[in-house]
Amino acid sequence: MVNKNQVEGIARQAKGAVKEAAGKVTGSTKTELKGKAEKVGGKLQKNVGDVQEKVRKAH
């Protein structure tokens, strides 16, 4: 089963990837870095969701 943090984390990763690509295309380092940061935040959120799911399954 997938929980809210996993879904939101994946969505944030995708949004960050789009923002990063837009920054590269437009030459905007600021947008590119914001996209990379958002991707990292999404990965962290997904990992939190993964841990929550493992704990839930263990009980």
Q: pLDDT per residue over 11-48, tens digit each?
A: 999 999 999 999 999 999 999 999 999 999 999 999 99
Tokens at residue 16, please? 């960050």
Residue 1 confidence (pLDDT):
85
Q: Comparing C-alpha atoms, which of 1, 8, 18 is closest to residue 47?
A: 8
Nearest to 23 by CA among 43, 15, 44: 15
> 25-48 burial, b if ≥16 CB within 10 A, otherwise e?
eeeeeebbebbeebbeebeebbee
Number of domains in the chain: 1
Read off the pLDDT band of 54 (50, 70, 90): very high
N residues, the chain: 59
Q: Residue 24: which domain range?
A: 4-58
